Amino acid sequence: MNLQPETRNIYCFSYQSGKLEHLMKDCVCIGGFIYLFSPFYLFFHWQVHEKDVIGVTHHPHRNLVATYSEDSTMKLWKP
């Protein structure tokens, strides 16, 4: 098992209104799954890779998250 918390915030904006809808405070990767946490609860989780996720980052101005894994792939996501 590979736990790798990220320390950056992830901001999720509405495409239509441009308003901030969610703020993710923490991110944890376990196996091929990614878990995003708001300040007080688990906001979202999904399987992103077949093997362990070894890195997560986000675009500073757009609603995009990039993950890379031990399965030798990098993927872009819109949470």
- Sequence ranges of the domains in the chain: 10-77
With b for 16 or more beta-carbon neighbours within 10 A and e for fewer, the 39-64 pattern comes to eeeebeeeebbeebbeebebeeeebe
Torsion of CA 41, 46, 52, 56, to 10 degrees: -70
Question: What percent of the residues of the chain are helix, what percent strand, and what percent coil, each to the nearest 5?
Answer: 0, 50, 50
What pTM, to 2 d.p., does this model score? 0.53
- Residues 21-74: pLDDT tens digits? 666 656 667 777 777 666 676 666 777 788 888 877 777 778 787 888 888 998
**Are β-strands 26-30 and 74-77 bridged in parallel, bridged antiparallel, or unpaired?**
unpaired
